[in-house]
Amino acid sequence: MELKADLVIVGAGMVGSALALALEHSGLDILVVDGGPLTVAPFEPQAPFEPRVSALSAATQRILERLGAWDGICARRASPYVEMRVWDGSGTGSIHFSAASVHATTLGHIVENRVVQDALLERLHASDLQLVGGARLEQLRHSGDDWLLGLSDGRQLRTPLLVAADGANSAVRRLAGCATREWDYLHHAIVTSVRCAEPHRRTAWQRFTDDGPLAFLPLCRGDDLHWCSIVWSVTPDEAARLMALDDEAFRDALGRAFEYRLGVVEAVDPRLCIPLRQRHAKRYVEPGLALIGDAAHTIHPLAGQGVNLGFLDAAVLAEVLLHALERGERLAELRVLSRFERRRMPHNLAMMAAMEGFERLFQADPLPLRWLRNSGLNCIDALPEAKALFVRQALGLSGDLPQLARV
């Protein structure tokens, strides 16, 4: 059986779902395909935290509000944070950011990825968008001016415009032969949730250790402010050692690495270990094809910006397509899709370069570089105007914002 659509989005994750909802009232016949079941699980307020979380910026919050998904997120579980404290564990440098410095109420929200996903899926199911779940993409080829997709359940899809939103290991990108630049960070990230003796005070904490950055991100379960999501970047050998520890030994190692800023670590959930790899597509677009989110770029989780870049990709692509529709242009044309690439690629590359620079600077051992980073942190901390620029950038209050993300 062959299904036809004006637009096929492969991947119903956070970014693909956001794009579909942003185009919900466009008049386009849109089909969203995913290998998962696309079901929404009942939420239990006292359930353990999911290990994978995102630090959603204010710009991302505005996008989710306008897509009708933010209320669903808040009805589940979202943890606002109002301050951020960063320090060099090998020196004296430190810096403190606050929402109040730019007259904002929060710096962002730490939200479990599953919570964001389920809130978006609820909106998808309530829409008129076509959903095909439980079917992986297995074949992809050109058929005239269209793409012909072969799914694992035997169905075939035909569309003039295909969007890859199927993650870092994108099947669309691979089958379409899109070239990438990629390299290993030679680090692994250990992620889990922990309960600390002292409350986190709605503050995101980050210590740069000799092995890599360690982040404690605040989580809220009701009125309990003692839980944090941790992201601990270490070398592969150290990751293997830490993953082999029992819970008590791991809690002790984690507490020491964090300098007991929130007291002892009292409890730890099951741990995940994720190899860190940076990847960037050489082009985001081809005729009839666009890559968004992790299918186009993956970055170091240093500042939790990956998913925010993906949501901005979705919002900008939707804006480009809607404007093209108004002008009567053919959406699959390269000159139309290139407008999306021109707006997003410089921003994404700049963020990737900044994260790479931070990571390399804080891994550097030579004494002059240690002095530079400590002096730099302390110098910026003493300049309110400079800090405010960093905060506005993190909030998504500057740059080329799509309409969905603007105030």
The per-residue DSSP string of 89-136 comes to TTSS-EEEEEGGGGT-S-SEEEEEHHHHHHHHHHHHHHSS-EEE-S--
**Site of tokens 């007291």:** 263
Write out the two tokens for 135: 């079917």
How far lies 281's CA from each of 51, 177, 264, 294, 335, in Å?
Answer: 27, 11, 43, 10, 18
pLDDT for residue 299: 83
338 Cβ partners below 8 Å, 6+ apart? 285
pLDDT for residue 371: 47
User: How many CA atoms lie less than 13 Å away from 85 in the CB half-sphere?
Assistant: 11
Which letter does DSSP use for residue 27 in this model?
S
29 Cβ partners below 8 Å, 6+ apart? 4, 5, 6, 7, 130
Query: Rounded to whole angstroms, how far apart are CA atoms 281 and 285?
Result: 9
Strand, coil or helix: 200: coil
pLDDT for residue 392: 74
Block means of pLDDT (10 residues each) for the chain, 407 residues, are 94 98 98 96 92 94 98 97 87 81 91 97 97 97 96 97 97 97 88 98 91 92 94 95 98 97 98 92 98 93 78 98 98 98 92 62 50 57 65 74 92
Q: Where are the domains of the chain?
A: 2-182+277-405
pLDDT for residue 356: 59
Query: Shortest CA distance to 289 belongs to which of 329, 322, 334?
Result: 334
pLDDT for residue 227: 98
223 Cβ partners below 8 Å, 6+ apart? none
Check if the beta carbon of residue 400 is closer than 8 Å to that of residue 313: no
Query: Rounded to whole angstroms, how far apart are CA atoms 291 and 316?
Result: 12
**For residue 274, which phi and psi values (nearest 5 degrees)?**
-125, 120
Q: What is the DSSP string of 295-351?
A: GTEE--GGGS-HHHHHHHHHHHHHHHHHHHHHTT--TTSHHHHHHHHHHHHHHHHHH
Positive or negative torsion for Cα 220, 226, 231, 237? negative
Beta bridge partners of 218: 228
Write out the two tokens for 341: 């690439």
Q: For 2-182+277-405, give the CATH class.
A: alpha beta
Query: Rounded to whole angstroms, how far apart are CA atoms 249 and 255?
Result: 10
Neighbours of 166 (CB within 10 A): 28
pLDDT for residue 364: 47
Query: Rounded to whole angstroms, how far apart are CA atoms 293 and 17?
Result: 11
